[in-house]
Amino acid sequence: MIYELRQYTLLPGRRDTLIELFEREFVETQEAVGMRVTGTFRVQDAPDRFAWLRAYPSMPARKDALEAFYGGPVWRANRDAANATMIDSDDVLLLHSVGAEPPAWERPPAGATEPPPSLYAATIYHVEDGFSAFFAREVAPVLAEAGVPPVACLETEHSENNFPRLPIRTGENVFVWFARFDPAGEEREVDLPMLKERLTAAPERLLLRPTARSAMR
């Protein structure tokens, strides 16, 4: 599967406005044209950040789905309201799955307002090629032993962006893994000294609180 990890910076106080619009108008309508809205999140401790994960069966399917949605009536009717909440929507990583896919539960119906009690930690490593095999061999067992098993692993998809109307981050090679904590108060980091010589830049760690209709719950 192909994924986009999308991180938006919003105008102060507008995050809930975007989430309400998104969950009402943009979930089923995107999935109807061939993509999967895998997870939608408030970024913890960053009140003006919204992150979400979108999936496609393949790169050709990505192109077809994005053309259908962004050329369709629902986006045209709501794009001004959505864009009016945003400062930046171009922080996007194009990824593919490595092993387990991100988990998904049955999504609550439109109008749901109660978010789940869980929290996801998404850790982004900047790496050289071949890191995923090292992670599976040396890192994942340590995480599992510590009670923080990866529930999904993704790495950079190096295909050309086939829908350039939506920019993606380029010139990077990343590995992203997700851990799930339920309840959120169980969130913790695990010391991983074996990574010291393997990373090409400082890691990024996002604490993600699922929204009411997120399929990752």
Domain residue extents for the chain: 2-210
pLDDT at 156 over 90: yes
Q: What is the pLDDT of residue 122?
A: 98
User: What's the pLDDT tens digit per position in 111-126?
Assistant: 999 999 999 999 999 9
What is the CA angle 150-43-184, rounded to 5? 55
Cα 139 to Cα 57, 109, 143, 185: the distances in Å are 28, 37, 6, 23
207 neighbors 187 (Cβ within 8 angstroms): yes
pLDDT of residue 170: 95
Q: CATH fold of 2-210, please?
A: Alpha-Beta Plaits (3.30.70)
CB atoms within 10 A of CB 27: 18
39 beta partners? 53
pLDDT band at 99 (very low <50, low <70, confident <90, very high): confident
Q: Which of 71, 29, 100, 84 is nearest to 166 (CA)?
A: 71
Give residue 100's pLDDT: 85
Round to whole Å and give the CA distance between 33 and 204. Answer: 32
Other beta carbons within 10 Å of 75: 16
Position 202 scores a pLDDT of 96
Taken as a whole, the chain contains a residue count of 217
For 49-94, how does the pLDDT look when each residue is reduced to its tens digit (9 = 90+)? 999 999 999 999 999 999 999 999 999 999 999 999 999 999 999 9
